Amino acid sequence: MAVLSDTPGVLRGESTWHGAVAVSSGGWISTLLPGRVLSPGGAVVAMTIAEIVAAQGQALWGSPPLPGMWALLTEWARRLDLNVLDAVIRAEQRPDLGGGWVCLPY
């Protein structure tokens, strides 16, 4: 799992379709939370959630669940003012890549 940036002002992952771009205000817009301007740290958290959900896939929903993974996802979701299920469901959905920019996994 990695959050990558090969272009200044762009974050993308190895496994997820989600991405984030810097905006002129100094904030970041993430496809995980379209319409919200995030701090740089918030953008990394959003990308981390998206990347882990994409990389783990159905194992997240397995029985028993991955040890400690839900606790981490819960904490990261809280940092974005989301509950963990909302964050995971958003991450599982392929983003609407309108607006002229596309983030593709490597």
Answer whether 60's CB lies under 8 Å from 69's CB: yes
Closest CA to 16 of 33, 29, 28, 2: 2
Q: In the prediction, which pLDDT does 98 show? A: 59
* Res. 5: pLDDT tops 70: no
Closest CA to 91 of 41, 16, 13, 39: 16
List, for residues 53-94, the tens digit of each pLDDT value. 998 877 777 766 667 888 999 999 999 999 999 999 999 988
Average pLDDT over residues 8-27: 88
Average pLDDT over residues 43-57: 91
Answer whether 20's CB lies under 8 Å from 50's CB: no
